[in-house]
């Protein structure tokens, strides 16, 4: 299904949904004449390669949904001028130097401080100057943002199913997330595909976090203390095949770790030594699982516990 060229005649259009349109590779430039457009859905348009280069003219746009648009080559320069944006589900870092002159870098996010909902930044491995560009994104000022996904490739939904290629070489360089500090209001954080991940100091400030997923960071050898998340309900650590241990910053024997945790998932962490510092003693009572972690630390709200492909306990 193609977008009709006459769409620009719909001057008063405020909502446009083109989701699941497998045939779209480019959006007609005439779409930028929809000056009253507030919401544009392009979810799962997998072949979509680029957004209109003058997208900044959609001055009323508040919601731009791009979930599943894994064919995007870049974000258009000037998208950061859409300061009314409240939802931008995907920001794609440019891979090809050939489009770099017309693509917007992470600095386009600097002034989009009304953003809420979910934001996934994809292809972070192609950022040329990580420290400066990460800081330019100004994530710490986005206090309405609920969920942040930092993907060095295309994210955990797609990386595990890709066939790889010449660019699909595991990153062995240490990578710091220090300048990608989000606002403390963040509820969900996902980090995917960052080879030798260095955990940032700001992790301990995310006291409102309810969900944390670290996936496909295969060169990561240790996990930092995670004792400071009183609201954490879901923790997933997946495909950290070099992970050897998980630290605990708790020293008191009867301290409570993860008082709100409902789901803990460790998948394909095959190199964990001596339980990775986790020594569980499991029992069930009224569908609650109690676990001893290092210093008799009880996970009092745990409802779902699964371990896969890792011979760490019997």
pLDDT reported for residue 165: 45
Instruction: Assign 3-class secondary structure to 40-59.
Output: EECCCCCCCCECCCCHHHCC
Which among 49, 142, 61 has a CA at the least distance from the CA of 99? 49
pLDDT reported for residue 137: 97
60/3: higher pLDDT:
60
Query: Per residue in 98-141, pLDDT tens?
Result: 666 778 999 999 999 999 999 999 999 999 899 999 999 999 99
pLDDT reported for residue 259: 72
pLDDT reported for residue 255: 45
Q: What does the DSSP assignment read for 147-208? A: EEEEESSS-HHHHTT----TT-PPP-SEEE-GGG---TT--EEEEES-TEEE--GGGGG-TT
Residues forming beta bridges with residue 223, ordered by sequence position? 246
The one-character DSSP state at 80 is G
Of the listed ranges 17-21, 41-45, 155-159, 206-210, the least confidently predicted one is: 155-159
Both structure tokens of 161: 């199913």
Own/partner long-range contacts of 80-85 (Cβ < 8 Å, ≥24 apart) = 80/104, 80/107, 80/108, 80/109, 80/110, 80/111, 80/112, 81/56, 81/111, 82/55, 82/56, 82/58, 82/112, 83/111, 83/112, 83/113, 83/114, 84/59, 84/60, 84/114, 85/61, 85/112, 85/114, 85/115
Query: Per residue in 221-275, pLDDT tens?
Result: 888 776 678 898 888 888 888 888 777 655 444 445 567 788 878 888 888 765 4
pLDDT reported for residue 228: 75
284 Cβ contact partners less than 8 Å away, ≥ 6 residues apart:
none
Which among 73, 130, 125 has a CA at the least distance from the CA of 104? 73
Cα separation, 191 vs 136, in Å, equals 19
Of the listed ranges 34-43, 150-159, 206-215, the least confidently predicted one is: 150-159
Residues forming beta bridges with residue 235, ordered by sequence position? 212, 264
Q: Are 152 and 193 in contact (CB under 8 A)?
A: yes
147 Cβ contact partners less than 8 Å away, ≥ 6 residues apart:
117, 118, 119, 186, 187, 188, 189, 190, 211
Tally Cβ neighbours within 10 Å of residue 140: 17
pLDDT reported for residue 280: 39
Model confidence, pTM:
0.84
Both structure tokens of 10: 């719909």
3-state secondary structure of 6: helix
Tally Cβ neighbours within 10 Å of residue 233: 18
> What number is the average pLDDT over the span 58-70?
96
Q: Are 235 and 218 in contact (CB under 8 A)?
A: no
Mean pLDDT of the residues in the chain: 81
225/15: higher pLDDT:
15
pLDDT reported for residue 257: 58
Q: Which domains does the chain have, with CATH numbers?
A: 5-254 (3.80.10.10)
> What number is the average pLDDT over the span 30-47?
95
Cα separation, 103 vs 237, in Å, equals 33
Both structure tokens of 56: 């900044």
Residues forming beta bridges with residue 243, ordered by sequence position? none
Asked if residue 201 has pLDDT above 50, the reply is: yes
pLDDT reported for residue 268: 85
Both structure tokens of 287: 């569908």
291/34: higher pLDDT:
34
Query: Per residue in 148-198, pLDDT tens?
Result: 999 999 876 766 554 444 455 455 567 789 999 999 999 999 999 987 888
Asked if residue 3 has pLDDT above 80, the reply is: no
Tally Cβ neighbours within 10 Å of residue 292: 15
């Amino acid at each position: 299904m193609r977008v009709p060229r006459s769409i620009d005649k719909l001057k008063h259009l405020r909502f446009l949904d083109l989701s699941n349109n497998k045939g779209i590779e480019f959006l007609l430039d005439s779409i930028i004449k929809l000056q009253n457009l507030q919401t544009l859905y392009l979810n799962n348009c997998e072949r979509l390669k680029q957004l209109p280069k003058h997208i900044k003219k959609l001055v009323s746009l508040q919601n731009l949904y791009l979930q599943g648009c894994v064919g995007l080559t870049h974000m258009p320069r000037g998208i950061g001028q859409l300061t009314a944006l409240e939802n931008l589900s995907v920001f794609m870092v440019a891979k090809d130097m050939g489009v770099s002159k017309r693509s917007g870098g992470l600095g386009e996010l600097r002034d989009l401080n009304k953003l809420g909902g979910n934001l996934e930044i994809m292809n972070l491995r192609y950022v040329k100057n990580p420290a400066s560009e990460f800081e330019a994104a100004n994530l710490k000022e986005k206090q309405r943002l609920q969920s942040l996904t930092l993907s060095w490739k295309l994210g955990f939904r797609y990386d595990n199913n890709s066939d790889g290629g010449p660019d699909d070489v595991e990153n062995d360089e240490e990578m710091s997330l220090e300048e990608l500090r989000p606002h403390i209001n963040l509820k969900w954080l996902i980090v995917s595909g960052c080879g030798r991940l260095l955990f940032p100091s700001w992790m301990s400030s995310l006291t409102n976090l309810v969900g944390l997923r670290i996936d496909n960071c295969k060169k990561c050898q240790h996990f930092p203390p995670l004792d400071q998340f009183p609201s954490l309900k879901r923790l997933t650590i997946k495909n950290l095949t070099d992970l050897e241990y998980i630290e605990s910053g708790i020293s008191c024997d009867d301290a409570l770790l993860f008082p709100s945790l409902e789901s803990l998932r460790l998948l394909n962490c095959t190199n964990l030594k001596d339980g990775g510092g986790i020594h569980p003693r499991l029992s069930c009572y009224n569908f609650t699982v109690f676990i001893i972690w290092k210093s008799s630390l009880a996970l009092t709200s745990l409802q779902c516990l699964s371990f896969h492909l890792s011979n760490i306990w019997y």
